[in-house]
């Protein structure tokens, strides 16, 4: 059991972030980890035959054990840029690089990969360049082409959970992030192998949703640049599916376009996103969403400069009660 002990200041300093480099690192892992494959099969088929030599990254990311923190610095907010994150990897302290690579090597079960990790640790200056270059290639091929879809998912998760945090506090938020997270007496408990306790002492915690980490989670405590929890984003089951197909009954009730938009809002989205996904004009989508809003079927939540629309309980019941939404082909 892991423990994060919060002071009153920590309760005010929890924040959400999106971490493109962390997603890249986890995307590489998901290619080799059979536990994480099920939700990402369509993506795996699309990136098959990528031709990248990912051996350095695979070697220092054992499937069970320590992954170096310097490979994905903890971002401070939702606007992290991949170029800045890669620059931070290249600027990592060689002493830290060596220590973290040695720890990853010791947790690596594959003898061949263990040897690769050891070679990298022997020359940490070269290692951080090799690993940064490999991460950059992995980003360009495995993640960047799909980043708009991934970013929409992560941004919708942030909007939902940030609202829950503001309205109900950490006690309500924590168990919703992950079934392994518990909240008790200003202490975040994490049901995971190991036993460590962290005194936050005013730093707060960065909460980072991830599309690729399911079914696990990651913990960054003492020694990390910032304490952080990385948890599975909401809606990953819908991530790689095609647009939802509303039932015939829902189409007859609402009309084809409104039924399609309501079914699609299983994951919150802006009108601009909906327009692009369904080849409709933004004005047309806005008019239909306004009707759904006035009928109490969707609600709009402001997130930074965007308004994301999501189904209300009534909207969910209407979609599910008429047979639900099917899936279009991949």
Where along the chain do its domains lie? 2-232, 241-327
Q: What is the DSSP letter of 124?
A: H
* Residue 155 CA neighbour count, 13 Å, CB half: 21
| Cα–Cα nearest to 87, from 122, 136, 121, 123 | 136
Sign of the C-alpha dihedral, residues 177, 156, 137, 96? Answer: negative
Fold for 241-327, please state it.
Answer: Arc Repressor Mutant, subunit A (1.10.10)
Residue 188's φ and ψ, nearest 5 degrees, are -90, 120
Strand partners, 245: 326
| Cis upstream peptide for 303 (omega within 30°) | no
More confident of the two residues 28 and 214: 28
Residues 65 and 260: their CA atoms lie apart, in Å, by 44
- Burial (CB count <10 Å: 0-12, 13-18, 19+), residue 185: exposed
Band of pLDDT at residue 277, cut at 50, 70 and 90: confident
* E strand residue ranges, 283-324: 298-303, 306-311
pLDDT of residue 65: 81
Q: What mean pLDDT value characterizes the chain?
A: 86
Residues 16 and 78: their CA atoms lie apart, in Å, by 7
* Residue 42 CA neighbour count, 13 Å, CB half: 11
Share above pLDDT 90 across residues of the chain, in percent, rounded to a whole number = 40
pLDDT of residue 113: 96
């Amino acid at each position: 059991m892991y423990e994060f002990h919060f002071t009153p200041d920590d309760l005010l300093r929890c924040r959400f972030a999106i971490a493109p480099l962390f997603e890249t690192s986890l995307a590489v892992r998901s290619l080799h980890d059979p536990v994480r494959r099920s939700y990402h099969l369509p993506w795996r088929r699309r990136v098959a035959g990528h031709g990248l030599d990912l051996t350095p990254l695979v070697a220092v990311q054992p499937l069970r054990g320590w992954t170096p923190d310097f490979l994905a610095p903890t971002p401070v907010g939702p606007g992290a840029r991949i170029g800045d994150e890669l620059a931070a990897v290249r600027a990592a302290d060689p002493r830290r690089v060596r220590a973290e690579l040695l720890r990853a090597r010791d947790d690596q079960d594959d003898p061949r990969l263990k040897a690769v990790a050891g070679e990298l640790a022997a020359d940490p200056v070269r290692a951080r360049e090799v690993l940064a270059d490999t991460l950059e290639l992995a980003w360009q091929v495995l993640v960047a082409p799909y980043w708009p879809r991934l970013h929409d998912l992560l941004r919708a998760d942030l909007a939902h959970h940030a609202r829950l945090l503001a309205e109900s506090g950490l006690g309500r938020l924590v168990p919703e992030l992950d079934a392994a997270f518990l909240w008790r007496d200003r202490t975040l408990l994490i049901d995971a192998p190991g036993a460590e306790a962290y005194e936050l002492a005013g730093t707060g915690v960065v909460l980072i949703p991830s599309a690729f980490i399911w079914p696990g989670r990651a913990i960054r405590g003492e020694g990390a640049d910032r304490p952080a929890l990385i948890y599975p984003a909401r809606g990953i089951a819908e991530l790689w599916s095609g647009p939802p197909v509303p039932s015939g009954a829902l189409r007859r009730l609402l009309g084809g376009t409104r039924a399609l938009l309501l079914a699609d809002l299983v994951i919150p989205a802006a009108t601009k996103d909906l327009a692009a996904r369904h080849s409709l004009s933004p004005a047309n989508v806005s008019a239909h969403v306004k009707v759904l809003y006035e009928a109490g079927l969707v609600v709009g939540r402001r997130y930074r400069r965007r308004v994301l629309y999501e189904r209300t309980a009534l909207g969910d019941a209407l979609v599910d009660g008429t047979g639900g939404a099917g899936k279009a082909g991949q």
